Structure 1
């Protein structure tokens, strides 16, 4: 007699996600490295420094924040999300009973976990930067006290941005897997649109999109915008990848 064990989709996704959290450890190592570099740059002071004199006193002012660390984290998640769509990473999954749907879902869960980790470490790096400035550089620090709710809002906002960027990177990676020409075409379209808008003497379309997301004052409305856009990018990516052959 023969028996067949039916493995559910979610069980497959769970196993693949657990595998990727271990197999893609290099992605987290690179996060540590790139945030460390960003911290070093941040010690020079974000936005440069200013100074002056008053009543015989000479003073210099530096602004220490985690802004640069967050920007570097954006770059990291973009590169990571594109990288995991490449053939070497896809081939690692064939130790499992898998299909394009389970592969994409596990990738999305992995990128979500990476985004959460990146958001937390990026926002909390502010305190590390201030500690280094105070203890090593003997800087006199003046900071407004932060309450837990403000820290959480910062982490949530950063998470939304990072996860949104991951969906864009995953979409670009999916396009490149369809045809290598997209690796050149996408940057050309982005840069070309900026030059075209400048030639037409009108506001850049990309700047308008930037303002649509980044200048939103309501966190709830911002979250809706980002989550809807993220879902659309991931759905488009899954549709593209599902049309590819199971293995090349």
Structure 2
């Protein structure tokens, strides 16, 4: 009697886990929509401006942008990645014939897809903000920056990359916390400690800001893409290395 064994490829396992995560984390996309609505409402108040005038007239000026929206989405990406690393969700992967590599690949694929959804919906949310301002401020003089299709595409791509970078950072933080709860104290301590130190020294920059400038000040889009992908790969790689020391489910 002959027995035939079907060899399951790594990619097949990753695809099954990815589809499973899409169903399991549907609430994550619901929270994204809610946060975007909240960010839109906050953005309607403007982000600063100025004013002036003379004896015959006066004027007030307000600036509107999608900065608040993207800030909310970065927080969403960071927290969502941490949620993916929690023990309960990691144990869900044991429903499949899998290993740590397939689990990490499925998580990265899912977080990458979530970043794409976030980037596309950001473009829609920013355009919704523009329309809301036009309708709500119909009696005011409005100067709007008109973007070409290429500029909108580049903006969406940049947003996707930023979100993916924040998922990588969140994934690393989540894995470190799963490795040892002491990181729940160390990481915020380092972050807020650097902020207080810079305030004490009257410095305009912090460690976090200096790191961020590596990406924000990049003028070449190709170099920006390369920097984000390398930084994300490094963070995910460290996360995979840290996860090797986590306990195995009995």
| TM-score, L = length of structure 1 | 0.91
**Per the alignment, do residues 4 and 219 of structure 1 end up closer, same or farther by CA in structure 2, a change over 3 Å counting?**
same
Q: Secondary structure at the match of 2:4?
A: coil
C-alpha deviations, 1:124-154, integer Å up to 9, x for none? Answer: 3121012112224435432132101110111
Is this contact kept in 2: 1:174–1:240, CA < 8 A? yes
Matches within 5 A, 1:182-201: 182-196=183-197
The answer to whether structure 1 residue 166 and structure 2 residue 167 are counterparts is: yes
Which consecutive unaligned segments of at least 5 residues does structure 1 have?
none
Partner in structure 2 of residue 223 of structure 1: 225
C-alpha separation in 1, matches of 2:201 and 2:54: 49
C-alpha deviations, 1:182-224, integer Å up to 9, x for none? Answer: 1121111222233345556765333321222211111111211
The answer to whether structure 1 residue 115 and structure 2 residue 86 are counterparts is: no
The answer to whether structure 1 residue 180 and structure 2 residue 181 are counterparts is: yes
The answer to whether structure 1 residue 244 and structure 2 residue 240 are counterparts is: no
| TM-score, L = length of structure 2 | 0.91
Partner in structure 2 of residue 131 of structure 1: 131
The answer to whether structure 1 residue 66 and structure 2 residue 59 are counterparts is: no
Is this contact kept in 1: 2:179–2:245, CA < 8 A? no
C-alpha separation in 2, matches of 1:145 and 1:199: 42
Partner in structure 2 of residue 157 of structure 1: 158
Alignment size in residue pairs? 247
Q: Secondary structure at the match of 1:145?
A: coil
Partner in structure 2 of residue 88 of structure 1: 88
C-alpha separation in 2, matches of 1:191 and 1:71: 19
**Per the alignment, do residues 201 and 61 of structure 1 end up closer, same or farther by CA in structure 2, a change over 3 Å counting?**
closer
Q: Secondary structure at the match of 1:71?
A: helix
C-alpha separation in 2, matches of 1:240 and 1:97: 22
The answer to whether structure 1 residue 146 and structure 2 residue 137 are counterparts is: no
C-alpha separation in 2, matches of 1:139 and 1:35: 26
Q: Secondary structure at the match of 1:97?
A: coil
**Per the alignment, do residues 48 and 194 of structure 1 end up closer, same or farther by CA in structure 2, a change over 3 Å counting?**
closer
Partner in structure 2 of residue 6 of structure 1: 7
C-alpha separation in 2, matches of 1:77 and 1:143: 29
Partner in structure 2 of residue 104 of structure 1: 104
Which consecutive unaligned segments of at least 5 residues does structure 2 have?
none
C-alpha separation in 2, matches of 1:146 and 1:89: 41
